[in-house]
A and B are shown apart, each in its own frame.
Chain A
Amino acid sequence: MSRRIVLAALLVLAGCGPATPRNTGVYLLLDTSGTYAGEIRKAQQIILYILSRLEPGDSLAVARIDTGSFTEKDIVAKANFDDRPSAANREKREFAARVKAFVEQSKPAPYTDISGGLLQAIEFLNEKGPGRKEILIFSDLKEELAKGYIRKVPFELKGFDVVALNVTKLRSDNYDPREYLSRVAAWRAKVEAGGGHWRMINDLERLDGML
């Protein structure tokens, strides 16, 4: 009888142990390079959509991609939403206001350090430790590094979902579509080599599967 009681107690304790996190962490990289700066308004709509989909306890960070993106300074806004729904709603409204202010004051960057932004996103989300990690790249995926920036670093993307959003075609892509296709394929290969899951969504009217 006492053995049964001990067994039952152990089962209960096992049920009350530290549970796996069920929250979502989203890191959105915004390309602010000269070729892509015009798309920033669309990015704002995407951020608002993401905010509407996130739950209390989730994390969201928005960072710009500029000349050197592997830095916390490029994080435009970040929030770890409160457990309580009312507080989370208030934080969402504040987040939306910060993004709006950024969009209105955003200036085009001369270079595009996507890899640096991706490394920063990995570091941020690993630190937060959410149950589900999403990195959204709002860019044309055309990386241009300034002189002296080295980004030949393998990405550790195991457990990450990487979603490329609104990958626009450049003027040169229209002349030679192979450039566009090889660019996308190269990023896919990088992500999948790091153990991540790659997706691409260009139709911004159908963002249902994004999160």
Chain B
Amino acid sequence: MDHILSITPWPVVSALLWFVFLAAALYLARRTAHRAIHAATEAVAQGLRIAAHSVAAAESRLTARNREVLLAAGREAKERIVEREFVRVGETTRKDLTNYPALHRALSESILRIEEDHQKAVEVPPEAPGWVRAVEAVAKIDAKNGASDVLADIHRSMVKAHNEAMQAYRKASAERHGLLRQMMPEWRAIQETLGRVNKVIESLLTRSVAIDRHMQEYEDIVRGQDRAVSILQSSSVVQFFVSALVLMVAIGGAAINFSLIARPMAEMVGGTHFIGSFRTADIAALVIIMVEISMGLFLMESLRITRLFPVIGALPDKMRVRMIWITFSILLLLASVEAGLAYMREVLLQDELATGALLRGESGGELQSQYLWITTAAQMGMGFVLPFALVFVAIPLETFVHSLRTVVGLAGIALLRVFALVLRVLGNGFRHLGMLAERLYDLPLFLPLWLEARRSATNGSPAARDMRESPL
């Protein structure tokens, strides 16, 4: 530094001279330096812009791909729902309407019987014709002409005939009422039958409304409408979180299951062997749990509750039923093994406690609670039930896997969007940085630039005008 400032006896003068030399050099190289700065920063900015475009294109492709995946998943789900609804309609029709001819015949017979009974009920006993007129004629005969006896006889006969007619009438009425009474059960039967038919029809109508709704949504999906995509997206995200939550619960259950069988497993495979850095007993216990989960998956697939393995779903029904029984048998076997291991765990625990107490010099090693069987039974029960409970992991797992594709796609889109934005901002930043660097370069050259501007202004050249107008 001292050497630089020693070109004249006065350091200040030396510094001033250096400044003048440097300014002159910078002024002379100004145009080239500006071009170099501009080229460098513009190259970086251009590169970043191209990268941003590329990322944006990738984001667009991913968006399109995600949309396709989402629509395909939605279409498949809707097809399954509609198919299920049709199966239900089919079952209802088969179960309730297959015997419709018999129902119709029963109704017709009931109506026929009612008609017959009704016909019978309307027949009334005939009245004795002309009696009233005969009575009137006899009543006009003078009683003194010895007709009183005749009249008395007639009266008696009439009373008798009246009584007989009344009895016949009552009998006929009773028969009619009897017939009407017989019609009541038929009416009720008809009412019940019609009620059943009404219920079936209402059920079918409800199902048809649901099918209409699902078909409408299906059509929206097939057309690829934005509304349908939006609904599917939100539904997929919700399903992802819900299934993840249920899977966490299942993992907790598997962990408890593991702790139940890991200790006694050491009795079977030894407690001191290691595979890598893991105990063989722990790995064996884990394998059992994994096999149980796998069997559960296969069982669910065979039952066509989940559709993770299309091969199983496409198997012939006979083979599928065989698979159901085989997987269920293996599960039952493993559950029984687990129950046994859970019992063994309790026995080992008691043994260890007793040994520990003996080694500590305590006398209560053999003291056992009378309620110990409760924990033993609970452990055995858990050991038996948990494998079957883990079977149902297949359902949230399927949902998780399907929704994961969408959620990962959405996350990727968001990431690419942010990345493209950052690249764009950086590109613009470099361009402005170049301009700033040019201005900073010109900063120490304010004096020659000012002089140049003045000279140009005096000359009145267009370049000078430009110089005047452009900021330093």
Q: Which residues of A contact B (CB under 8 A)?
A: 15-16, 19, 22-23, 45, 48-49, 51-52, 55-57, 83-86, 88-89, 92-93, 96
Contact = CB atoms under 8 A, between A and B. Distances in A.
B425 interface: no
Interface in B328-376: 347-348, 351-352, 354-356, 358-361
Given A19-B275, A22-B272, A57-B271, 16 more contacts: A22-B274, A48-B360, A52-B359, A55-B271, A55-B272, A56-B266, A56-B271, A57-B270, A83-B271, A83-B273, A84-B271, A85-B266, A85-B267, A85-B348, A86-B348, A89-B355
Interface bin, chain B? 20 to 34
B263 interface: yes
Given A16-B275, A22-B274, A56-B266, A86 B359 contact: no
Interface string B260-281: 0001001100111111100000
B359 A96 contact: yes
Interface in B296-351: 347-348, 351
Interface of B: 263, 266-267, 270-276, 347-348, 351-352, 354-356, 358-361
Given A51-B359, A92-B355, A19 B274 contact: yes
Nearest to B271: A56
7 contacts: A56-B270, A83-B273, A84-B266, A84-B271, A86-B347, A86-B351, A92-B355
A84 B348 CA distance: 10
B272 A48 contact: no
| Secondary structure call for the A interface | helix
A96 B356 CA distance: 11
A104 B266 CA distance: 36
Contacts of B351: 85-86, 89
A167 B356 CA distance: 27
A18 to B, nearest CB: 11
Contact of A83 (B270, B358, B359): B270
A86 B355 CA distance: 10
Given A22-B272, A57-B272, A84 B359 contact: no
A53 to B, nearest CB: 9
Contacts of A45: 361
A14 to B, nearest CB: 10
Contact of A15 (B272, B276, B347, B358): B276
B355 A93 contact: yes
B275 A84 contact: no
Nearest to B361: A48
B359 A56 contact: no
Given A84-B266, A85-B348, A86-B351, A23 B272 contact: yes
Nearest to A21: B272
Residue in A15, A52, A57, A85 with the greatest tally of chain B CB atoms within 10 Å: A85
Contact of A96 (B347, B348, B358): B358
Contacts of B361: 45, 48
Contact of A89 (B270, B272, B352): B352
Contacts of A85: 263, 266-267, 271, 348, 351-352
What 7 A-B pairs come out closest when comparing CB atoms?
A57-B272, A83-B270, A89-B355, A56-B271, A52-B359, A48-B359, A84-B267
A22 B274 CA distance: 9
A107 to B, nearest CB: 24
Nearest to B356: A52
A211 to B, nearest CB: 14
Contacts of B348: 85-86
A19 B361 CA distance: 37
B358 A93 contact: yes
A83 B272 CA distance: 6
A52 B359 CA distance: 6
B355 to A, nearest CB: 4
Nearest to A48: B359
Contacts of B266: 56, 83-85
Contacts of A52: 355-356, 359-360
A48 B273 CA distance: 25
A85 B267 CA distance: 6
A98 to B, nearest CB: 13
Contacts of A15: 275-276
A69 B361 CA distance: 30
